[in-house]
Amino acid sequence: MAEDSKTPLLDQLEEGPWPSFVTEIKRAAETKDSAKDLLHQLERSYEDRIGHWKHGGIVGVKGYGGGVIGRYSDLPEEFPAVAEFHTLRVNMPAGWFYTSEKLRELCDVWDKHGSGLTNMHGATGDIILLGAPTKALQPCFDDLEEIGFDLGGSGSDMRTPSCCVGPGRCEFACIDTLDLLHNITMEFQDELHRPMFPYKSKIKISGCANDCVASVARSDFSIIGTWRDSIRIDQDEVANYAHEGMDIQAEVVGLCPTGGMKWDAESKKLSIEDGECNRCMHCINTMPKALRPGKEKGATILVGGKAPIVRGALLSWVIVPFMKMEPPYDELKDLIRRIWEWWDENGKMRERLGELINRLGMRAFLKAVDLPPLPQMIRAPRANPYYFWDPEEVK
């Protein structure tokens, strides 16, 4: 490409208050030909209103089946520096916490081997190193290994699991999301790095029902912190919120989905009918100084969440209402393994766990993974008479 070729369309995206990705590409382009060609190929997409990347090929590093996404320009003669422009998915530390020292090491490795462009972070949670030629992949990984960064998942494997900030900085966290994430990521390294399943499998961990990592929508296994006893109330702090102008009747009691709260404005006392509480988090979110989750903490396990491909989007379904979540997390790991085994045995190519449960029935799933049916699993019992009996039960 010509050194002085212009990007009038993309230049318009350098204006305005929101951070500009175009500015970032241009910064990398000062020293990297690949970033320069990326910029100009993108300008071409803006002119043509179509993407210019070809279908990925199989590329990778030794010992791994996933973690690298192949990407090739469909205009390699015009933009030779992005003819091969592969992505490395690098497993982030739990909770996306970093020291500047660690990030600088990562930047040095990526400047040495790649485009100098990254996503912090990709949709699944990995650090995305965006764009390197095939020959740079192995040397780049070798240097990543030196500084202690391993690859994440891709293809039909366990994708890089992620979690919320958890006990690192959130008083709502009912489980140690960071420790659990690190622990299961280390436990399932083989499943993460060597695609062996019918399709992708995602695990996401949230410390409470606010679900800051969207586990219920975006993961086959959603692990969401909760509690089994009563919300802890500090009545003095409740009174303080009222004193500072909060309309407790309207903002807290009136929005409780179970109608299980009462506010006595005279005596400034809030009461909660504990049997009615469904632990939705609204009142705690609204008055974090006054209300806290109970002390008997654990997680609800839900499965089956996914985006539309292939048969439609699903939200995860409750399969274990409450599980204690303490190291070494054997009960959870055992359950995940049982479920993977059933899915691996019965799933068709590109059939996610939720789709398989839909095809074979929740009844078959529960039996196969040995979980008891419970009313917490459903919104309502069936309204049709089309149900089955095992002949063994009809005697």
- Which residues from 126-145 bind other proteins, rule CB under 8 A? 130-131, 138, 141-142, 145
> Taking CB under 8 A as the criterion, which residues in 62-101 touch other proteins?
62-64, 71, 85, 87, 91-101
Whole-angstrom distance, CA of residue 206 vs CA of residue 327: 17
- Asked if residue 328 has a cis previous peptide bond (ω within 30° of 0), the answer is yes
Residue 297, beta-bridge partner list: 227
Interface with other proteins includes 221 (CB under 8 A)?
A: no
If the CB atoms of residues 110 and 340 are measured against other proteins, the closer one turns out to be 110
Q: Counting beta carbons within 10 angstroms of the beta carbon of residue 160, is it exposed (0 to 12), middle (13 to 18) or buried (19 or more)?
A: buried
* Residue 390 Cβ vs other proteins, minimum distance, rounded to whole Å: 27
Binding piece for other proteins, criterion CB under 8 A, among 269-277, 307-315, 320-328, 384-392: 307-315
Interface with other proteins includes 106 (CB under 8 A)?
A: yes
> Taking CB under 8 A as the criterion, which residues in 267-296 touch other proteins?
280-282, 285-286, 288-289, 292
Q: Counting beta carbons within 10 angstroms of the beta carbon of residue 100, is it exposed (0 to 12), middle (13 to 18) or buried (19 or more)?
A: exposed
230 Cβ contact list (under 8 Å, min separation 6): 272, 274, 277, 294
Whole-angstrom distance, CA of residue 299 vs CA of residue 216: 13
> Taking CB under 8 A as the criterion, which residues in 239-268 touch other proteins?
250-251, 255, 257
* Nearest CA-CA partner of 233 in 253, 217, 250, 218: 253
If the CB atoms of residues 53 and 322 are measured against other proteins, the closer one turns out to be 53
* Residue 367 Cβ vs other proteins, minimum distance, rounded to whole Å: 24
Binding piece for other proteins, criterion CB under 8 A, among 305-313, 338-346, 368-376, 384-392: 305-313
Interface with other proteins includes 395 (CB under 8 A)?
A: no
Q: Binders of other proteins: how many residues, by CB under 8 A?
A: 124
Q: Out of 1, 33, 80, 150, name the contact with other proteins by CB under 8 A.
A: 150
* Residue 72 Cβ vs other proteins, minimum distance, rounded to whole Å: 9
- Please give the full DSSP string across 157-182, using - where no structure is assigned: SBPPPEE--GGGT-TT-SS-HHHHHH
* Nearest CA-CA partner of 177 in 228, 224, 209, 215: 224
Q: Out of 83, 218, 231, 369, name the contact with other proteins by CB under 8 A.
A: 218
Q: How many CB atoms lie within 10 A of CB 150?
A: 17
Q: Out of 15, 77, 266, 370, name the contact with other proteins by CB under 8 A.
A: 15
